[in-house]
């Protein structure tokens, strides 16, 4: 097993991070359909899945929040953005993902091709869609100790992340309602999910999916992937597969992941997908960190223009010095 415990700061400066389920937005990916690669991938996905990704992207919000559809939609969306970024001359030194986002990180690192990854996601989504109904919610503005105390006392509710500012609770709808009735919270944001992910309630799905992973061949990784469960930079396929099983029922410790990235010399972070939710904790830890979000082809164009202007400015500065 090959583990990279440290990253050379001069060579491992840029990380691409990929958000998980709940980050989906109605209308995402519509601009990708006009590109040849987008058309190809959407047709490949429809042939494999038996339904249209673009239709769900565009107008079917109920389906988009259903696990069986959410995960393939996010996979196609984010892998397309990652490939278009590479076509524009960009590439990460390492990758990581929040829960489901780890699968897109692995695709970006070369663990499997598009169709192999989509088959894996299809099976994962089918398994998880059979789970009992559950709920998840992000809480903003609360007393940390009070929340932890109530979660500890309440059955069938767990903290699904390690953020003390934006806590995520996961469990049964009744359990979450009990928490919200006992803990004053400034803002509650229900997540568009259909089960209580990152809790013991989904362990049966993790065990079933483990068998699927064991029969799926992965290619050698071209760049390190930061594991979301043990926080090591890995090039080991066995280590990666173990993490994919564990992360289904374990809480997501994004604060710890962020600290690991910053401590190991990451100086630039790009979130591929909707929003900047993964970048904010990193920026709070390291205000000097350069962050960008790529959620559309327009964002890629803006990134290219910005970097071209930066290079032009540097060239002009060097010319003036001479």
d(CA 250, CA 160): 7
Q: Are residues 88 and 210 in the same domain?
A: yes
* pTM of the predicted model as reported, rounded to 2 decimal places: 0.89
DSSP state of 270: E
Distances (CA, A) of 232 to 226, 286, 309: 6, 20, 36
Do 176 and 316 lie in one domain? The reply is no
Answer for the pair 267, 13: CB distance below 8 angstroms, yes or no.
Answer: yes
Residues 104 and 224 in one domain: yes
Please tell me the distance from the alpha carbon of residue 315 to that of residue 4, in angstroms, as a whole number: 35
Q: Residues 165, 282, 77, 50: is their CA dihedral positive or negative?
A: negative
Q: Which among 128, 121, 97, 114 is positioned nearest to 19, based on CA atoms? A: 97
- Residue 65 half-sphere exposure, CB side, CA atoms within 13 Å? 14
Q: Tell whether 272 and 148 lie within a shared domain.
A: no
Residues 8 and 95 in one domain: yes
Main-chain dihedrals φ then ψ at residue 294, nearest 5 degrees? -120, 105
Parallel/antiparallel/unpaired status of strands 94-97 and 14-18: parallel
CATH, residue 156: 3.30.70.250
CB neighbours of residue 174 within 10 Å: 12
- Residue 184 and residue 287 share a domain: no
18 and 166 housed in the same domain: no
In the set 23, 54, 99, 178, the catalytic residue is: 99
DSSP secondary structure string for all residues of 209-230: HHHHHHTS--PPPSS-EE-TTT
Exposed/middle/buried for residue 283 (C-beta within 10 Å: 0-12, 13-18, 19+): middle
**36 with 69, same domain?**
yes
**Do 221 and 123 sit in the same domain of this protein?**
yes
Do 149 and 38 share a structural domain?
no
The CATH number for 26's domain is 3.40.366.10
Task: List residues bridging with 157 in a β-sheet.
Answer: 171
- Rounded to whole angstroms, the Cα distance separating 287 from 266 reads 12
- Look up the domain containing 229 and give its range: 3-131+199-321
In this structure, the answer to whether residues 146 and 291 fall within a common structural domain is no
Per-residue pLDDT of the chain (322 residues; tens, 9 = 90+): 333 444 544 455 899 999 998 888 889 999 999 999 999 999 999 999 999 999 999 876 678 888 889 999 999 999 999 999 999 999 999 999 999 999 999 999 999 999 999 999 999 989 988 888 889 999 999 999 999 999 999 989 999 998 888 899 999 999 999 999 999 999 999 988 888 999 999 999 999 999 999 999 999 999 999 988 878 888 889 889 999 999 999 999 999 999 999 998 899 999 999 989 899 989 999 999 999 999 999 999 998 888 877 777 665 655 566 6
178 catalytically annotated: no
Residue whose pair of structure tokens reads 């897109």 in the numeric block: 104
Q: Which of 23, 170, 194, 198 is catalytic?
A: 198
Query: Active site includes 52?
Result: no
Count of domains for the chain = 2
Residues 36 and 127 in one domain: yes
R_g over Cα of the chain: 20
* Phi, psi for residue 146 in degrees, rounded to 5: -65, -45
DSSP state of 30: G
Q: CA-to-CA distance for 105 and 264, rounded, in angstroms?
A: 18
Question: Which single residue is written with the structure tokens 């970006």?
Answer: 108
Burial class (CB in 10 A: 0-12, 13-18, 19+), 187: exposed
């Amino acid at each position: 097993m090959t583990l990279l415990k440290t990253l050379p700061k001069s060579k491992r400066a840029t990380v691409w991070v990929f958000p998980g389920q709940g980050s989906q937005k109605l209308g995402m990916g519509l601009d990708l359909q006009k590109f040849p690669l987008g058309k190809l991938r959407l047709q490949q996905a429809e042939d494999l899945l038996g339904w249209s990704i673009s239709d769900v992207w565009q107008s079917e919000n109920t389906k988009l929040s259903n696990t069986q559809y959410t995960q393939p939609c996010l996979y196609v969306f984010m892998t397309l953005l990652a490939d278009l970024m590479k076509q524009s001359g960009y590439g990460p030194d390492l990758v990581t993902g929040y829960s489901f986002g780890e699968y897109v990180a692995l695709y970006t690192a070369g663990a499997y091709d598009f169709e192999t990854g989509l088959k894996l996601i299809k099976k994962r989504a089918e398994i998880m869609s059979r789970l009992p109904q559950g709920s998840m919610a992000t809480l903003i503005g609360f007393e940390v100790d009070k929340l932890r105390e109530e979660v500890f006392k309440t059955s069938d509710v767990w903290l699904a992340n390690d953020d003390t500012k934006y806590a995520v609770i996961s469990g049964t709808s009744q359990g979450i309602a009990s928490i919200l009735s006992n803990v004053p919270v400034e803002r509650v944001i229900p997540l568009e999910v259909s089960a209580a992910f990152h809790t013991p309630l989904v362990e049966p799905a993790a065990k079933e999916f483990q068998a699927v992973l064991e029969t799926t061949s992965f290619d050698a990784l071209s760049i390190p992937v930061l594991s979301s469960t043990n926080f090591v930079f890995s090039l080991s396929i066995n280590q990666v597969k173990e993490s994919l099983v564990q992360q289904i029922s374990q809480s997501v410790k994004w604060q710890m992941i962020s600290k690991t990235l910053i401590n190991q010399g990451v100086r630039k972070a790009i979130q591929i997908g909707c929003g900047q939710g993964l970048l904010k904790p990193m920026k709070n830890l390291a205000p000097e960190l350069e962050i960008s979000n790529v959620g559309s082809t327009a964002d890629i164009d803006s990134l290219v223009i910005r970097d071209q202007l930066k290079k032009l400015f540097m060239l002009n500065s060097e010319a003036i010095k001479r």
